[in-house]
């Protein structure tokens, strides 16, 4: 449940950011969280920061902190700043009953507002309406037992909504990656565009950084299977760094809203995982990890600086051990360093005052 709570994970990532290659995040401008019964539990950040940012011409992105399928997401632009309150309310009330796991359903509902990350324009892509639109470029790195083995790209809208750029690692011992077709019957659909090779080469440049940071982060979290999503700067964005967007537990690399057959994605994903599984198993055996993790979840988060809030001694004396859900709800992290968001403060100094 901790891994599914984006508000809590923002603090967790901040605490390990410097030890994992200087991971960057977008700051939390404002956030709200409710109980499962719908009552206000906590709020944080500063609404004045949101107003200043919008007044300075920057956009704000609002999303639920308890979901993973884009329901409840909203982009608030300076010309529509009056929509911010409604966007937060809709994100807070978003529900995922149909497809969510039991753990996701027990995550406290929340809403979070962050600055918009730069999205590519159409000049570089030179494809007009077939270009990547106004969504940030996002590399989604799949990590299994601490080793990244695949990465897919969300780059807005290629043609008819085809998000079809898929990288595979040549081997676990190799740092080289290659863009791969989704099925043996056809070339990568992105290659149909005149600059497909240019797009691939540009994004491939970021793979060493995002895979290294993803592997480090997954190692600190002790999770067997995570997908770590990073925003990467579009060409011409200036000094904008790679930024971690979010972490998804036990999540694959295809999307349910694709306007294209989903089977090639599943085929490609499972083929890569099956091909590298023997390498992963040998890697685990060499490190004596084949019998599973040696630490429990609470010990792992304790090492990071996050522990369930201590109960009063009289309660502790007469109560049973906390359940996993109770541990999650009472989890408190020592103060975040802010190291992962310093880049944003320095970049916008003076711009939003």
Residue 40 forms beta bridges with which residues? Answer: 34
Written as tens digits, the pLDDT of the chain (353 aa) is 778 889 889 999 999 999 999 999 999 999 999 887 778 788 888 899 999 989 888 889 999 988 766 678 888 988 888 999 999 999 988 876 665 566 677 888 899 999 988 876 534 443 344 444 457 788 989 888 788 888 887 655 444 444 457 788 877 777 788 777 655 555 554 554 445 667 778 888 899 999 999 999 998 988 878 899 999 987 777 778 999 999 987 655 544 344 455 555 565 666 666 666 666 666 556 555 555 555 667 778 888 878 887 655 445 544 567 777 777 777 778 777 789 999 987 776 655 44
CA distance 188 to 239: 31
The number of helices, as runs of H, and strands, as runs of E, in the chain is 12, 13
The structure's pTM equals 0.81
Among the listed residues 157, 171, 165, 159, the one whose alpha carbon sits nearest the alpha carbon of residue 204: 165
Task: Give the burial string for 133-162 (b: 16+ CB within 10 Å, else e).
Answer: bebbbbbbbbbbbbbbbbbbbbbbbbbeeb
CA 286 and chain centroid, separation: 30
Taking alpha carbons only, the member of 115, 63, 67, 107 closest to residue 89 is 63
- Answer whether CATH 3.30.1490 is correct for domain 27-116: yes
Q: Identify the residue whose tokens are 């990071």.
A: 304
């Amino acid at each position: 449940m901790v891994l599914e709570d984006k508000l809590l994970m923002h603090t967790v990532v901040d605490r390990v950011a410097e030890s994992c290659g200087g991971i960057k995040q977008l700051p939390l401008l404002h956030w709200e969280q409710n109980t499962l019964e719908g009552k206000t539990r906590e709020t944080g950040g500063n609404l004045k920061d949101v107003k200043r940012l919008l007044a300075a011409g920057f956009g704000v992105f609002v999303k639920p902190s308890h979901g993973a399928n884009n329901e409840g997401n909203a982009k608030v632009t300076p010309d529509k700043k009056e929509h911010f309150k409604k966007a937060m309310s809709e994100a807070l009330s978003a529900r995922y009953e149909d497809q969510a796991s039991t753990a996701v359903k027990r995550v406290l509902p929340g809403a979070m507002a962050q600055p918009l990350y730069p999205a590519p324009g159409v000049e570089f892509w030179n494809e007009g309406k077939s270009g990547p639109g106004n969504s940030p470029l996002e590399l989604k790195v799949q990590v299994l037992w601490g080793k990244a083995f695949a990465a897919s790209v969300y780059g807005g809208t290629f043609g008819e909504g085809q998000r079809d750029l898929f990288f595979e690692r040549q081997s676990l011992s190799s740092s080289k990656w290659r863009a791969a077709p989704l099925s043996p019957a056809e070339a990568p659909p992105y290659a149909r565009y005149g600059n497909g090779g240019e797009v691939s080469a540009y994004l491939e440049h970021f793979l060493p950084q995002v895979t290294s940071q993803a592997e480090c982060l997954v190692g600190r979290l002790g999770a067997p299977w995570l997908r770590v999503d990073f925003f990467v700067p579009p060409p011409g964005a200036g000094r904008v760094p790679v930024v971690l967007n979010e972490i998804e537990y036990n999540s694959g690399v295809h999307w349910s809203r694709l306007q294209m057959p989903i089977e090639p994605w599943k085929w490609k994903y499972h083929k890569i995982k099956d091909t590298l599984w023997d390498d992963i198993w040998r890697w685990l055996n060499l490190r004596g990890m084949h019998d599973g993790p040696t630490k429990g979840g609470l010990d792992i988060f304790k090492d990071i600086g996050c522990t369930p809030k201590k109960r009063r001694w009289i309660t502790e004396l007469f109560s049973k051990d906390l359940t996993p859900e109770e541990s999650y709800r009472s989890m408190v992290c020592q103060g975040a360093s802010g190291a992962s968001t310093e880049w944003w403060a320095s970049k916008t100094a003076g711009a939003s005052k």
